[in-house]
A and B are shown apart, each in its own frame.
Chain A
């Protein structure tokens, strides 16, 4: 056992310059995969963390054992939302809300750090006057969704108007006073929606990552199989060959995984700055924690080892399998049927389908594309080889037929990205829907009985605050709306609106004056988040795609260095070899990339809010251009490698 491991270690070290380069490439691939995998895991954990930290503001009603009353209201300052939570203890022993060291006494207010700073910065008439209470302390991070979140927690008497009013049950404006047994609450629907989106994004990123990891593992095997087949020929048992392969792949992958954790650590400050739902992330959000990190550190080398075993199956089954390269059996059409089967399921989905189901179907579609890919590549190869007139295309076509899986590995990343781009491109809602709502008219819902009295009070408050405004009454029935339009013709800026908001604050218990633009804020943020998410997912996919294209291109040069060198000695121009290598990547890329985009778009049809729109098209176009340029560039990057490995006039197989 130790003898075998020692031998594997020597094989790994003794592989020469090419061998070490191959192992290095594997390690790099594994490191990138690991870093991205950690990112995917952390992103989900981070959204879960946000949901949990926000849950206490989404009260669950309790009857008999209530210890407190809680009301939540959405207020606005500038173009940001402020969450105002009013709490009143019903029992002296009531535990404080999360993030507060004690239960706020009536007449006390606790600010989140960002709100405290804003209160200090802005003129009192624009924000601070809304909170005349005594400052009790600072709301801790454990009760905040993100570091910049604006939250105020006020202590009230249980009998105060704010705690007894029947506010409208509108989730946009807040939650009416609720008797609660504690401040655990439950995750809001919005938070759950974000978690679902994060899960889908993870699937979109994870499958290419797995494919990539597998490719990296086979990269080790590809260079080794010749030698291992030789070992098998001299009598090594299948078990020994497998063990040695696994040992070598796992050693390399473990080193790569550790480097990946370090890489991720370096990237977290950058990733933490990505704003979602109006805010960036706490450093701890993006740290997946020791158990998950350990799990990734163990799982990645294991997966790579497993993938190596699968790649070696042929050598193990027959010691001659690799030494004598036979025509690989043609791939079965079943692969295409798998894709068609998954696609048949897609139309049954809809906007109402559970996110888990959508994620599973997307994952299956992904895997099906991955199954179909090599088959299609083989087909493309046969067509290319049959129609080729020049040597380069003939070489490319024959190579595609010979090892469609290898060719697929090179382009799969970009093809997968095409799928993602197609999916998201159709999914992003039109940008024209939002953004031009009225921001100058604040509306306040008032009981019909008090309309005239409150209209007068509003006028008084506004003129006291020096805000020139017109106050009108609209609506019928029990609730009327006071529409306050700021009328200073010359300049209506955010500051004036905030003065008006502050002036009207507290006039009707539990209600604030909001504009249409305020109410739209959530939608605007969501739209921005979809855009951000798209960019993140596509960036990750492209990173994977291009690194994987570069690595496979380099490894194919290394694999075939002897033949390439001898061809060059016999006078074959390097340009022909490079042209062949280019064609063997770009031809399948064009077909598979285009095909994947179409499949991705098809999968998005049941969910699309609108027809194909300009921003979606732009993203798609950018993807196509970037994909081609990236893969072509990554392939071209190994041209110097080709030159150097073919420069040796006495090439020997290693």
Chain B
């Protein structure tokens, strides 16, 4: 599998604390990787180093063969804006912006006109089960709905990798599962890779691979995950719009290798914008 994102020998220290002690991680195109481990083991630190949020003290991070850990903050910031998507635990949506503008914001930052950005943002609402909530403000959404808006925002720019740090940590288990399933489906459906930090083994099983972190070291890299359960929310059916010709300019990856994940009902589950919206 083509590696989209690769970290080699990552070392990160906070004073005397060694948060990462030489970690390597390889994320394939369209691959969903779960990072698990006890609290304080270095999961968030690993994610931050891979995403260009932190500079590691040692090691290298490559995105599509290009080294990113040595870039200057301004370049890394642009990279995060255009190539990566982020879903955090909560608090990432601007409370005064309606949901659709929250989703449109990264597009507008990338130079898309406001009209186009909002139109493209709206296309995500139906597939994510958010139909009719375009104009609501984050305070008027439930926690799970707000996280789905955050997922839409992370995917709206068609990123190469989506990073999620305990994206369902603030939700109850059932809502958390729904949301996480949508996150995994939606990133897959858009040929994006996913790196997700989670404490929930069930969630980890939906991912292609689980990485176990302990005391700043990667312990094990378990195999491929379990099939996703059927959709339990009112998102309507998922279709396949197929064409993703406008996906970035990261060249040709040939076979995506990710569209074959099946739901329990046997149909390919792909969440794509603008379908059944």
- On A, residues with C-beta under 8 Å from B are 324-327, 388-391, 394-395, 398-399, 401-403, 562-563, 566-573, 576, 649-651, 653
B71 at the interface (CB under 8 A from A): no
A647 → B minimal CB distance (Å): 10
In the complex, A193 Cα to B228 Cα: how many Å? 85
Q: Is the CB of A570 within 8 A of B91?
A: no
Which listed residue, A389, A399, A563, A573, touches B114 by the CB 8 Å rule? A389
Q: Is the CB of A570 within 8 A of B92?
A: yes
Interface centre among B94, B98, B106 (most CB of A within 10 A): B94
Which listed residue, B78, B95, B101, touches A563 by the CB 8 Å rule? B95
**0/1 per residue, B97-118, Cβ < 8 Å to A?**
1100100011011000110000
In the complex, A563 Cα to B86 Cα: how many Å? 13
Q: Is the CB of A571 within 8 A of B82?
A: yes
B140 at the interface (CB under 8 A from A): yes
9 interchain residue pairs of minimum CB distance: A571-B81, A325-B139, A571-B80, A402-B96, A566-B92, A398-B96, A391-B108, A570-B86, A562-B91
B222 at the interface (CB under 8 A from A): no
A528 → B minimal CB distance (Å): 50
Task: Give 16 new A-B contacts, CB below 8 A, not counting A569-B86, A571-B79, A576-B109.
Answer: A325-B138, A390-B114, A394-B101, A395-B105, A398-B96, A399-B96, A563-B92, A563-B95, A568-B77, A570-B86, A571-B77, A571-B78, A572-B106, A573-B78, A649-B54, A650-B48
A-B contact pairs, 6 of them (CB 8 A): A391-B109, A395-B105, A398-B97, A563-B92, A573-B81, A653-B91
B44 at the interface (CB under 8 A from A): yes
Q: Is the CB of A566 within 8 A of B88?
A: yes
In the complex, A567 Cα to B74 Cα: how many Å? 14
* A residues less than 8 Å from B93 (CB atoms): 563
Q: Is the CB of A398 within 8 A of B94?
A: yes
Which listed residue, B51, B78, B94, B138, touches A567 by the CB 8 Å rule? B94
In the complex, A416 Cα to B173 Cα: how many Å? 53
B137 at the interface (CB under 8 A from A): yes
**0/1 per residue, B29-52, Cβ < 8 Å to A?**
000000000000000100010010
* A residues less than 8 Å from B96 (CB atoms): 325, 398-399, 401-403
* B residues less than 8 Å from A325 (CB atoms): 95-96, 137-139
* B residues less than 8 Å from A390 (CB atoms): 108, 114
Give A580's nearest chain B residue, CB to CB. B94
In the complex, A324 Cα to B146 Cα: how many Å? 12
Q: Is the CB of B53 within 8 A of A649?
A: yes
In the complex, A499 Cα to B41 Cα: how many Å? 96
B84 at the interface (CB under 8 A from A): yes
Interface centre among B80, B101, B109 (most CB of A within 10 A): B109
Which listed residue, A395, A649, A650, touches B97 by the CB 8 Å rule? A395
Q: Is the CB of B106 within 8 A of A570?
A: yes
Q: Is the CB of B113 within 8 A of A389?
A: yes
- On B, residues with C-beta under 8 Å from A are 44, 48, 51, 53-54, 74, 77-82, 84-86, 88, 91-98, 101, 105-106, 108-109, 113-114, 137-140, 154
Give B49's nearest chain A residue, CB to CB. A649
Q: Is the CB of B108 within 8 A of A569?
A: no
A145 → B minimal CB distance (Å): 57
In the complex, A456 Cα to B57 Cα: how many Å? 105
Q: Is the CB of A563 within 8 A of B81?
A: no
A470 → B minimal CB distance (Å): 81
* B residues less than 8 Å from A388 (CB atoms): 114
* B residues less than 8 Å from A563 (CB atoms): 91-95
Q: Is the CB of B54 within 8 A of A573?
A: no
Give A399's nearest chain B residue, CB to CB. B96
Q: Is the CB of B140 within 8 A of A569?
A: no
Interface centre among A403, A563, A567, A571 (most CB of B within 10 A): A571
The answer to whether residues A650 and B44 also contact, given A324-B140, A395-B97, A569-B53 and a CB cut-off of 8 A, is yes
Q: Is the CB of B140 within 8 A of A326?
A: yes
* B residues less than 8 Å from A569 (CB atoms): 51, 53, 80, 86, 88
* B residues less than 8 Å from A572 (CB atoms): 77, 81, 105-106, 109
Q: Is the CB of B82 within 8 A of A402?
A: no
In the complex, A576 Cα to B81 Cα: how many Å? 13
Give A393's nearest chain B residue, CB to CB. B114
A578 → B minimal CB distance (Å): 14
* B residues less than 8 Å from A395 (CB atoms): 94, 97, 105
* A residues less than 8 Å from B44 (CB atoms): 650
Give A401's nearest chain B residue, CB to CB. B96
* A residues less than 8 Å from B114 (CB atoms): 388-390, 394
Give A322's nearest chain B residue, CB to CB. B139
Q: Is the CB of A327 within 8 A of B92?
A: no
* A residues less than 8 Å from B139 (CB atoms): 324-327
A459 → B minimal CB distance (Å): 87
Q: Is the CB of B81 within 8 A of A570?
A: yes
Q: Is the CB of A391 within 8 A of B88?
A: no
* A residues less than 8 Å from B95 (CB atoms): 325, 402, 563
In the complex, A326 Cα to B96 Cα: how many Å? 9
A480 → B minimal CB distance (Å): 81
B75 → A minimal CB distance (Å): 11
* B residues less than 8 Å from A567 (CB atoms): 92, 94
In the complex, A327 Cα to B82 Cα: how many Å? 31
In the complex, A233 Cα to B137 Cα: how many Å? 21
Give A403's nearest chain B residue, CB to CB. B96
Give B44's nearest chain A residue, CB to CB. A650
* A residues less than 8 Å from B105 (CB atoms): 391, 394-395, 572
Q: Is the CB of A327 within 8 A of B140?
A: yes
A28 → B minimal CB distance (Å): 27
A560 → B minimal CB distance (Å): 8
Give B108's nearest chain A residue, CB to CB. A391
Q: Is the CB of B86 within 8 A of A327?
A: no
Give A324's nearest chain B residue, CB to CB. B139
Interface centre among A391, A563, A650 (most CB of B within 10 A): A391
In the complex, A399 Cα to B98 Cα: how many Å? 11
In the complex, A85 Cα to B262 Cα: how many Å? 109
* A residues less than 8 Å from B91 (CB atoms): 562-563, 566, 651, 653
In the complex, A573 Cα to B91 Cα: how many Å? 18
* B residues less than 8 Å from A653 (CB atoms): 91
Interface centre among A326, A389, A566, A572 (most CB of B within 10 A): A566
B109 → A minimal CB distance (Å): 5
* B residues less than 8 Å from A576 (CB atoms): 109
Give B76's nearest chain A residue, CB to CB. A571
* A residues less than 8 Å from B86 (CB atoms): 566, 569-570
Give A402's nearest chain B residue, CB to CB. B96
Give A398's nearest chain B residue, CB to CB. B96
B201 → A minimal CB distance (Å): 24
Interface centre among B85, B92, B106 (most CB of A within 10 A): B92
